[in-house]
């Protein structure tokens, strides 16, 4: 029988408060910078079925509630008090972990002999083995290259460490002491959660507490459906792109059909590109999971800020995954960069909801979440692996409000590392840590600007950098209703010197003392015609450094002289003829790409590719795009509009390639105009 509303409210708030205590215990006792400074970790309480019923409001991630915990629990039978399960393997955990640095612990909670739930915690480890320091490399082709894999098993057995497993872990991480210390921080925090839940059981009884774990999820599910009912019923298509997958320069397309019916939501990913030969794949294993649903998590918490956070969020969401696509990694496929394609799905959901109701969503986020890691050998010969900064882009604008600057909390609220700590702990000097001017998409409401960082290597031995997540280097963060795209990401070694060169995302690079690394993050897309932006708002942006004086004239038609708006010159500039605003502004490179590879063409190409056995698809796809855009499989830097050149000639090559390369692969099909 369901609990009365007052008792349910009291218990819900008590359990959520405990999760916050557990959360801060992990953060304050862990040793790695990923946890105690950046906050790349999470905790939760799970019910007896493995669903989240309480989640900490202070967590940097809001979307990890949509996770398959039960497969991991089921894989380790005969749990007793004092046991703790550990895993980091996406495949044997059936998607609990999504890449190997994410290490998960689950502790069963008992009242006597009766199971009453579980405590869960995860951290992003600084290093868990593999080919590169930090364990994440874009060019890995199979998961065996990515680090130590731990299937669901017991780290603690009835209160005693599994010493053989700990020995194995120590031998397979570059920072063993920090790694084990982080495990102990999670274990201590989970035990605190256990004791606090026992206090609730002692006061309210086991049956009442267990019933509350179910009732609160039912309550959340009902509230979530009411929010989804605000989206008009219908079917809405949208697609977006990764710039490339590093091992080729071919854009990787994510396609979504959003279907809404009386608060029931379907995310149909049919038509998304096949698996990559690099690590830009996600092991969802055919399930709905947080990397697929996380845009809707933010949607729910925006329109119902007080909704209790638990697995009930997702009861009315269904995902239809294309078998063999980048969201459906199987077997031994590499998955280290598993977050990149979901970021484009995130923007696809935004675009689809904008089509449904322009009042309910922002233009594209900056869409780049660059994690800058650094490895060096100190004076004592000891290897150190640390995160420098989790760089962030700006948020997209929404009707009536500018995007948030230098922060994208629609994805997560991971924290920055203070420059003083970076300089104290690493052989780096921070030369610049600021906002990136003119990076926000111009609009009546401006897209938020991204961050900017420049560091210099000052250690005697130099070091190795690895920056993952450098997306939006070609496909700009799009604007809406006349708003323009945000700026592209830039990552440069030794900017302004003779040996200046770009950084390739997700690849390690050895640098010497005196070398510099500059990162300029993209801004969010603008919303509305920038010529409609209030002149004083443009002046304020220029005074604050969000835009330059030149940008004010170029993008907004506002002339600023000696710190004031020149009204006459501004009126003249704004009166000049200009193109009618587009509903979506995608930028020159995407426009050129889609002039050749439009939606119908891409659906036909993928329809044929998916008829091939999975091992053949990538090679045939690569040969096909090389025939249409010569050299693209080896070029990740040249802008797409320059690579394509003559669109009409490229369309002729496209028809020829369809008739030759795909047909010779045994894939005849419909002609493309």
Domain boundaries, the chain: 5-221, 362-529, 587-664
**Secondary structure letter of residue 230 according to DSSP:** T
3-state secondary structure 62-90: CCCCCCCCHHHHHCCCCCCCCCEEEECCC
Measured CA to CA, the distance from residue 554 to residue 537 in angstroms comes to: 15
**Does pLDDT of 672 surpass 60?**
no
> 380 burial class (0-12, 13-18, 19+ CB within 10 angstroms)?
exposed
Three-point CA angle 35, 41, 44, nearest 5°: 135
From residue 453, how far is each of 31, 32, 181, 273, 462 by CA, in Å? 25, 22, 30, 33, 18
Q: What is the signed CA dihedral for 315, 316, 317, 319, rounded to 10 degrees?
A: 90
The separation between CA 645 and the C-alpha centre of its own chain, rounded to angstroms, equals 32
Phi, psi of 610 (to 5 degrees): -70, -10
Give dist(CA 234, CA 260) in Å, integer: 5
Cα–Cα dist 128/136, whole Å = 9
Looking at residue 211, its pLDDT comes to 96
pLDDT digits (tens, 9 = 90+) for 208-240: 999 999 999 999 999 999 999 999 999 999 999
Residue positions counted in the chain: 673
Residue 673 binned pLDDT confidence (cut-offs 50, 70, 90): low
Looking at residues 508-518, what average pLDDT do you find? 94
CA pair distance 360, 383, nearest whole angstrom? 49
Answer whether 367's CB lies under 8 Å from 479's CB.
Answer: no
Q: What is the pLDDT of residue 665?
A: 64
List, in order, residues 6 or more apart from 474 with CB less than 8 Å away. Answer: 241, 243, 244, 251, 488, 589, 590, 639, 640
* DSSP-based three-state secondary structure for 507: coil
What pLDDT is stored for residue 560 in this prediction? Answer: 97
Among 75-84, 379-388, 438-447, name the one with the lowest average pLDDT: 379-388
Mean pLDDT across 358-378: 90
- Looking at residue 19, its pLDDT comes to 97
Residue 669 pLDDT class (50, 70, 90 cuts): low
Say which DSSP state 493 is in.
E
| % pLDDT > 90, the chain | 84
Q: Distance between CA atoms of 615 and 498, rounded to whole angstroms?
A: 42
- Which of these, 332, 318, 237, 351, lies nearest to 275 by C-alpha position? 332
Picking from 131, 141, 125, 160, the residue whose alpha carbon sits closest to that of residue 33 is 125
Residue-wise pLDDT tens digits, 174-208 = 999 999 999 999 999 999 999 999 999 999 999 99
Q: How far apart are CA 232 and CA 422, in angstroms?
A: 48
Burial class (CB within 10 angstroms; exposed 0-12, middle 13-18, buried 19+) of 499: exposed
Please state at what angle helix 588-596 crosses helix 647-657, rounded to 10 degrees: 40
Mean pLDDT over the full length of the chain: 94
Distance between CA 100 and CA 102 in Å, rounded?
A: 5
| 461 has a pLDDT exceeding 80 | yes
Tokens of 416: 């920055």
Handedness of CA 520, 525, 529, 533 (dihedral sign): negative
Of the pLDDT bands very low, low, confident and very high (cuts 50, 70, 90), residue 390 is: confident
- In terms of Cβ atoms closer than 10 Å to its own Cβ (0-12, 13-18, 19+), residue 567 is exposed
Interior angle at CA 368, CA 421 and CA 384, nearest 5: 35
Contacts of 110 (CB under 8 A, 6+ apart): 81, 116
**pLDDT at residue 68, as a whole number:** 95
Q: What is the pLDDT of residue 578?
A: 82
The whole-number average pLDDT for the span 328-348 is 94
Least confident of 183-192, 312-321, 361-370, 519-528: 361-370
Evaluate whether 501 touches 510 at the Cβ level (below 8 Å).
no
| Tokens 């919303």, located at residue | 527
**pLDDT tens profile 577-629:** 888 788 999 999 999 999 999 999 999 999 999 999 999 999 999 999 999 99
Q: What's the pLDDT at 443?
A: 97
Q: The tokens of 147 are what?
A: 């680090």
- Cβ neighbour number for residue 579 with a 10 Å cutoff: 6
pLDDT for residue 413 = 72
Distance of alpha carbon 383 from alpha carbon 290, whole angstroms: 34
State whether residue 122 is helix, strand or coil.
strand
Q: In the 8-state DSSP scheme, what is residue 126?
A: S
User: How many degrees, rounded to 5, is the angle at CA 105 between CA 375 and CA 103?
Assistant: 25
Over 60: is that where the pLDDT of 384 sits?
yes
User: Helix, strand, or coil here: 357?
Assistant: coil
Which pLDDT does position 668 carry in this prediction?
Answer: 61
- The answer on pLDDT for 361 being more than 90 is yes
What mean pLDDT comes out for the span 139-159? 96
Q: What is the pLDDT of residue 664?
A: 67
Cβ–Cβ < 8 Å for 169, 187: no
Q: Torsion over CA of 12, 14, 20 and 24, rounded to 10 degrees?
A: -160
Band of the pLDDT at 670, cuts 50, 70, 90? low
* Residue whose structure tokens are 């408060």: 17
Structure tokens at 297: 């998590």
**Residue 294 CB-half CA count within 13 A:** 22
Q: Give the span between the Cα atoms of 593 and 501, in whole angstroms.
A: 25
Question: Is residue 516 a contact partner of residue 463, using CB atoms and an 8 Å limit?
Answer: no
Q: Give the predicted TM-score (pTM) of the model.
A: 0.95
Q: What is the largest CA-CA distance in the chain?
A: 81
Rg (CA), the chain: 25
3-state secondary structure string, 86-104?
EECCCCCCCCCCCCCCEEE
Q: Using the 8-state DSSP alphabet, how is residue 215 labeled?
A: H
* Four-CA torsion 263, 269, 271, 272, nearest 10 degrees: 140
pLDDT at 409 over 80: no
């Amino acid at each position: 029988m369901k609990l009365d509303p007052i008792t349910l409210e009291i218990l819900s708030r008590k359990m959520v408060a405990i999760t916050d205590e557990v959360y801060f215990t992990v953060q304050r006792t862990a040793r790695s910078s990923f946890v105690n400074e950046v906050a790349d970790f999470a905790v939760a309480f799970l019910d007896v079925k493995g669903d989240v019923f309480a989640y900490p409001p202070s967590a940097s991630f809001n979307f990890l509630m949509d996770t398959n915990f039960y497969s991991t629990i089921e894989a380790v039978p005969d749990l007793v008090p004092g046991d703790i399960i550990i895993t980091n393997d996406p495949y044997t955990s059936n998607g609990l972990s999504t890449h190997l640095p994410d290490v998960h612990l689950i502790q069963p909670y008992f009242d006597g002999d009766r199971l009453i739930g579980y405590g869960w915690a995860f951290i992003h480890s600084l290093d868990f083995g593999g080919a590169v320091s930090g364990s994440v490399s874009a060019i890995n082709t199979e998961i065996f290259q990515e680090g130590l894999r731990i299937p669901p098993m017991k780290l603690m057995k009835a209160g005693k460490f599994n010493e053989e497993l700990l020995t194995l872990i120590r031998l397979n991480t570059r920072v063993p002491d920090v790694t084990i210390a982080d495990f102990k921080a999670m274990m201590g925090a989970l035990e605190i959660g256990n004791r606090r839940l026992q206090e609730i059981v002692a006061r309210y009884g086991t049956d009442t507490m267990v019933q509350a774990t179910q009732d609160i999820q039912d309550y959340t599910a009902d509230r979530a459906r009411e929010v989804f009912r605000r989206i008009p019923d219908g079917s809405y298509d949208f697609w977006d792109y990764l710039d490339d997958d590093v091992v080729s320069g071919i854009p990787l397309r994510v396609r979504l059909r959003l279907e809404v019916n009386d608060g029931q939501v379907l995310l149909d990913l049919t038509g998304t590109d096949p698996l990559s030969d690099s690590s830009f794949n996600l092991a969802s294993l055919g399930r709905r999971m947080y990397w697929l649903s996380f845009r809707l998590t933010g949607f729910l918490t925006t329109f119902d800020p007080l909704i209790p956070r638990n697995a009930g969020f997702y009861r009315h969401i269904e995902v239809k995954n294309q078998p063999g696509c980048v969201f459906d990694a199987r077997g031994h496929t590499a998955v280290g960069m598993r977050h990149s394609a979901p970021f484009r799905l995130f923007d696809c959901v935004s675009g689809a909801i904008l089509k449904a109701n322009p009042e309910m969503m922002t233009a594209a986020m900056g869409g780049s979440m660059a994690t800058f890691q650094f490895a060096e050998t100190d004076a004592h010969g000891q290897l150190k692996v640390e995160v420098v900064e989790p760089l962030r882009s700006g948020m997209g604008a929404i009707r009536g409000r500018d995007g948030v600057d230098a922060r994208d909390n629609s994805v997560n609220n991971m924290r920055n590392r203070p420059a003083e700590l970076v300089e104290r702990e690493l052989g780096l000097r921070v030369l610049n840590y600021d906002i990136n001017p003119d990076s926000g998409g111009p609009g009546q409401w401006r897209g938020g600007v991204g961050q900017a960082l420049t560091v210099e290597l000052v250690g005697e031995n130099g070091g190795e950098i690895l920056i993952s997540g450098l997306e939006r280097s070609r496909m700009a963060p799009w604007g809406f209703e006349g708003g323009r795209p945000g700026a592209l990401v830039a990552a440069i070694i030794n900017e302004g010197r003779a040996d200046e060169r770009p950084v390739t995302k997700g690849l390690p690079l050895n640098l010497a003392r005196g070398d510099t690394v500059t990162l300029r993050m993209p801004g969010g897309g603008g919303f509305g015609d920038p010529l409609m932006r209030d002149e004083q708002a443009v002046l304020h942006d220029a005074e604050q450094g969000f835009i330059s004086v030149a940008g004010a004239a170029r993008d907004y038609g506002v002339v600023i002289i000696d710190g004031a708006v020149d009204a006459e010159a501004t009126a003249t500039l704004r009166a000049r003829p200009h193109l009618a605003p587009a509903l979506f502004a995608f930028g020159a490179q995407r426009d050129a790409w889609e002039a050749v590879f439009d939606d119908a063409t891409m659906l036909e190409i993928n329809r044929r590719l998916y008829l091939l056995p999975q091992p053949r698809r990538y090679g045939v796809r690569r040969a096909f795009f090389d025939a249409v855009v010569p050299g693209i499989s080896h070029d990740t830097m040249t802008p797409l509009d320059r690579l394509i050149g003559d669109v009409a000639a490229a369309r002729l090559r496209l028809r020829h390639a369809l008739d030759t390369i795909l047909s010779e692969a045994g894939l005849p099909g419909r002609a493309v105009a």
